[in-house]
Copies of this chain bind each other. A is one copy, B any other.
């Protein structure tokens, strides 16, 4: 059972704090925002979104920082996932 995000959306899985500290990353929450290290699980097709062409540049496996935690949460087969717009992703983290 899989999630296929629509339009400019991506499915991400938030990495737990214990996982992130291994890589030396500590996230600081700004007021009313929940920045987060996540891994991309699935990517929508992009295309015309609200009349504007959106090209998807994220791909499954990318580790990303999201600016705000505004997505839709869903648990599939015991795995907690979040669906956000690509524009809510502010940076890719590379090793």
Contact = CB atoms under 8 A, between A and B. Distances in A.
Interface in A21-35: 23-28, 30, 33, 35
Interface residues of A, number: 49
29 contacts: A1-B23, A1-B25, A1-B94, A3-B93, A3-B94, A4-B91, A4-B92, A6-B57, A6-B86, A6-B89, A6-B90, A6-B91, A6-B92, A7-B87, A11-B91, A24-B78, A27-B73, A27-B75, A28-B75, A28-B80, A30-B72, A35-B74, A48-B52, A48-B55, A51-B53, A65-B72, A72-B90, A76-B93, A83-B91
B28 A73 contact: yes
A34 to B, nearest CB: 10
Interface in A17-74: 23-28, 30, 33, 35, 37, 48, 50-55, 57, 65-67, 71-74
A73 to B, nearest CB: 4
